Amino acid sequence: MTETTRSTSDWPRVYLASGSARRRAILEELDIPYQPLTVEVDEIVAATGRETVEENASHKLSAGLRSADRGALVIAADTVLEAQGRLLGKPADETAAIQYLQTLSGSSAIAYSAVALATAGDAIGCLATETAEVHFKLLPPEVIQWYVSTGEPMGRAGAFGIGRLGEVLTESVDGCYSCVSGLPKTALLLALAQVAGEQMPESLRHAPTVLMGTRVRLRSLVLGAGREADPRQNNHRR
């Protein structure tokens, strides 16, 4: 296991079950210490965007928990774009990337991001889903070709990475920018407050649920049981 990126006595050992540089950057922006954890899962496409990211984030969490030290906190996430009735995951090649960007051109897309987290050894975790709407500029062929030539679209949901060059393709974002980036801060903080509780810094320990608004959905995750529970059943946890 690699060295901890940051260290503070206010946090338990935290693992990020993701190889995404942008997700790592978001944890660093929030001053959350973590260790990267490589997980291998087959990502699925479900009937809806929400179901897709919830299933994938849950599977990544399960894989991460199998590798984590007991008592460590594991964070996993997944993101997908939905545009014109299509779910746009990671493009298989440049041809698919061009097709995805043509779909997004002059249109709007819904970003679905899910965060799944739990403490290794516990029976209950948390699953939080957040949405944002991205409005795209008209993207003429030369713009699409230029963006694909940068290599940024590959390995990104919808062939689009808002955290870097992809931002110049957008007109506006309704919702949290971090939701589109792949690790939604509102969903993450609310889920952390439920699962980590007293192990978090005082400033983050009691994130008010009013932050949920209409874009965040928070549920308890019964680990290994394939079902979820009402988060109110988990209020006694740390």
- The verdict on residue 234 lying in a domain is no
- The verdict on residue 214 lying in a domain is yes
Rounded to an integer, what distance in angstroms lies between the CA atom of residue 235 and that of residue 87?
Answer: 34
Alpha helices in 105-213, H assignment, sequence order: 141-149, 177-181, 185-195, 202-205
Question: What letter would DSSP give residue 210?
Answer: G
Strand 227-229 with 170-174, pairing: unpaired
- CATH no. for residue 114? 3.90.950.10
Q: Which of 145, 53, 138, 132 is nearest to 99 (CA)?
A: 145
Is residue 10 part of the annotated active site? The answer reads no
What average pLDDT values come out for the chain (238 residues) when binned by 10 residues?
A: 48 93 94 93 93 96 94 96 93 96 97 97 96 97 97 92 93 95 94 88 79 90 59 31
Contact 56, 44 (CB under 8 A): yes
- The verdict on residue 236 lying in a domain is no
- The verdict on residue 4 lying in a domain is no
- The verdict on residue 1 lying in a domain is no
List all residues 6 or more positions away from 127 whose beta carbon is below 8 Å from its beta carbon.
54, 57, 58, 114, 115, 116, 191, 218, 219, 220, 221, 228
Rounded to an integer, what distance in angstroms lies between the CA atom of residue 38 and that of residue 49?
Answer: 24
- The verdict on residue 9 lying in a domain is no
Residue 160 token pair = 């689009």
Strand 216-222 with 227-229, pairing: antiparallel
Helical (H) or strand (E) element with 96: helix 94-104
Complete DSSP assignment for 36-67: E----------SSHHHHHHHHHHHHHHHHHHH
Rounded to an integer, what distance in angstroms lies between the CA atom of residue 98 and that of residue 91?
Answer: 9
- Give the pLDDT of residue 200: 84
- Give the pLDDT of residue 9: 59
Residue 101 token pair = 């960007």
- Give the pLDDT of residue 54: 97
Contact 225, 214 (CB under 8 A): no
Give the active site residue among 78, 93, 122, 230.
78
- The verdict on residue 75 lying in a domain is yes
- Give the pLDDT of residue 72: 95
- The verdict on residue 135 lying in a domain is yes
- Give the pLDDT of residue 15: 97
Burial class (CB in 10 A: 0-12, 13-18, 19+), 176: buried
Rounded to an integer, what distance in angstroms lies between the CA atom of residue 194 and that of residue 133?
Answer: 26
Rounded to an integer, what distance in angstroms lies between the CA atom of residue 17 and that of residue 36?
Answer: 6
Report the number of distinct structural domains present in the chain: 1
Could you list the residue range(s) of the whole structural domain that residue 124 is in?
A: 14-225
Rounded to an integer, what distance in angstroms lies between the CA atom of residue 209 and that of residue 207?
Answer: 6
Contact 83, 36 (CB under 8 A): no
Q: Which of 214, 213, 173 is nearest to 81 (CA)?
A: 173
